[in-house]
Structure 1
Amino acid sequence: MKLIVERIEQATPQIRVLRLTGVDGAPLPPYEPGAHVDVRGPTGVTRQYSLCGTPHDRCGYTIAVKRELASRGGSAALHDQVTIGSELEVSAPRSLFRLAEAAAEYVLIAAGIGITPLLSFAYRLKQRDAHFTLHYFARSRDEAAFLPVLESQEFAAHLQLHLGLEPDEVAAVVRQRVAAALPHAQVYTCG
């Protein structure tokens, strides 16, 4: 389907957030948290991006694109050539990373751009008033996308932000948190 870039935000120096809406303003197909779409950029390169907005919002899709240093035209084109009003070819949403419907607790572990599918999980879990914690690992605040949303009143009580940790420190936090999870907890990681 053809979608229009309605809004662009620079979430971090390397991550750009695009809000995509229908050309005719019609509702977009629904999607489950964790779903992704294929986006064909201006260079003709197609890449997959997680939908990271509120899953029940059918007025538009939100994706986040990290500029890859070794880009072969995908992420670089979406950063350098796409502007508000650009038209992109976007597939229907597909879900290969699904959220279980019932668990005693949900532990979400995201690193860097891996926040994108887990943010949609957090929206759904908050909507269901489920017990969850989102552990978000980033090198620094400047490199952590979506902090205004995650630190808002809606999510602040669920967020555990981990900045500047070395890989062995990250592994120790993850092991500790998984070990402390309730029986029958669901644990999801990305990044």
Structure 2
Amino acid sequence: MGVVPERELETYTLLDIQNSDLCGPDPQNHHCRLSALPPMKSLLRNLSLHATLVLIVLLVPGAVYELVSQSRFRNVELLAFGGAVTYPAYIGLWTRKLRSERARFILFHLLLVLVTAFVAFIVGGNQPSLARIMTPAAVGAATLPVAAIAALRGNRWLAVTSLGSAAISLPVGAILSWVIFVGAALSGMHGGM
């Protein structure tokens, strides 16, 4: 076990690394900049960041529900479930990191359909309205006009992406609309008995 030189234990900024002799003759070499940073520090930073985010996502909805249920706003259902906003935010964070723009577009559209369905399910209670029931299906089909306009303008990439997004999100939105309809009908039957 030798003594570790003090220089290896120092933290470096990118400017220090570019201006130092660590990179050799070519300071613009991006591989040199990455290899000069200690790999464990970056790994630990990422792990601690995601552990903190997971804790926030798991603890905030329960805490918000408890706080609202004990306050004077306990009858406001949407406010009671307001902590659930952390779920789509965390999923959106991971979706944003995808490299494929098409996959990001499709997943963000699907996430929008799911959030819309959740809000429509919570907000309406047992009063079925056509707008509340049809909203998830309408949001799922929202990219169909975009696909038609993009095809007419010759933007093939946007047309195919929008059509693919609608092919995935429209059936999901239709199923969720049916679930909202059945849930409203069953709760209406239960309330009337």
Q: Quick check: which one's strand share is greater?
A: 1
Q: Quick check: which one's helix share is greater?
A: 2
Ranked by relative contact order (alpha carbons within 8 Å, sequence separation 6 or more), the top structure is: 1
Larger radius of gyration, structure 1 or 2? Answer: 2
